[in-house]
Homo-oligomer: A and B are copies of this chain.
Amino acid sequence: MAQKPVKETTGERVLRVATELFAEKGYEATGVEELSKSTGLGRGALYYHIKNKQQLLLNIALRLLENANREARRILASGGTAEERLHRMAEHLLTDLSTNRSAWITSMRDWQALDEPYRTHVGHLRNEYEQYWQALFDEGAEAGLFHPVHPMQRRAIVGMFTTSYRWIEPSGSLSPKQISELYVSLFLDGLRKRPSEQA
């Protein structure tokens, strides 16, 4: 495989520009006219490539979540202890959050703008993603490594990661891997000093 075609199709370009616009101003606040101007396409040309505005939002969310679930399954099935895979899971999420920040912002913040049944479908994909984390925690607990994780704690942990779209910046001083390690050590080892660690 020498090199995939460098040029993105017009449809892909529209989706990319829409992702950035939605992330910046919000889905509802972004007009089709603005998308038209930002892509350099007229209204008619725009609608030649997309079905409607809502499909753009749906595609952004679907692409993001389906990819996340695919990768989560891959990591879950990969070798190593539950803790090792947990680190991988965390690093991958932070990396994805950093590289696809706009799509994460839009998916997390504006998914309620979706009509049924898309909205429910997206919700299911999110639940599915959370279950992969839960599976890892359960594995760790069964192996005697972790304390059992309450579902509400699992939601908090995953939420802690995903809500990072608020401040993550690809140009930040810490790499996604470093940040993920900061997070994992937080909920794995905790902040409290052991008696043996006291100064």
Any B CB within 8 A of the CB of A52:
no
Q: How far is the CB of A86 from chain B (nearest CB, A)?
A: 9
Number of copies: 2
Which residue of B has the minimal Cβ distance to A199? B144
Q: Mostly helix, strand, loop or mixed at chain A's interface?
A: helix
Q: How far is the CB of A146 from chain B (nearest CB, A)?
A: 4
Any B CB within 8 A of the CB of A129:
no
Q: Which residues of B contact A160 (CB under 8 A)?
A: 156-157, 159-160, 163
Residue pair A179, B152 in contact (C-beta under 8 Å): yes
Any B CB within 8 A of the CB of A28:
yes
Which residues of A, 129-187, contact B by the 8 Å Cβ criterion?
137, 140, 144-147, 149-150, 152-153, 155-157, 159-164, 166-167, 174, 179, 182-183, 186-187
Which of A12-20, A33-41, A188-196 forms part of the interface with chain B?
A188-196
Q: How far is the CB of A116 from chain B (nearest CB, A)?
A: 14
Contact among B25, B113, B152, B186 for A182, CB-based, below 8 A? B152
Any B CB within 8 A of the CB of A29:
yes
Size class of the A contact interface (CB-based, 8 Å): 35 or more
Which residues of A, 12-65, contact B by the 8 Å Cβ criterion?
25-26, 28-29
Q: Which residues of B contact A109 (CB under 8 A)?
A: 109
Residue pair A167, B155 in contact (C-beta under 8 Å): yes
Any B CB within 8 A of the CB of A120:
no
Can you list 17 contacts pairing A with B, beta carbon distance less than 8 Å? Answer: A25-B112, A26-B112, A147-B191, A147-B192, A152-B167, A153-B182, A153-B183, A153-B186, A155-B164, A155-B167, A156-B161, A156-B164, A157-B186, A160-B160, A188-B190, A188-B191, A188-B192
A-B pairs, top 9 by smallest CB distance, nearest first, are A190-B190, A28-B28, A160-B160, A163-B163, A159-B163, A189-B190, A146-B191, A156-B160, A188-B192
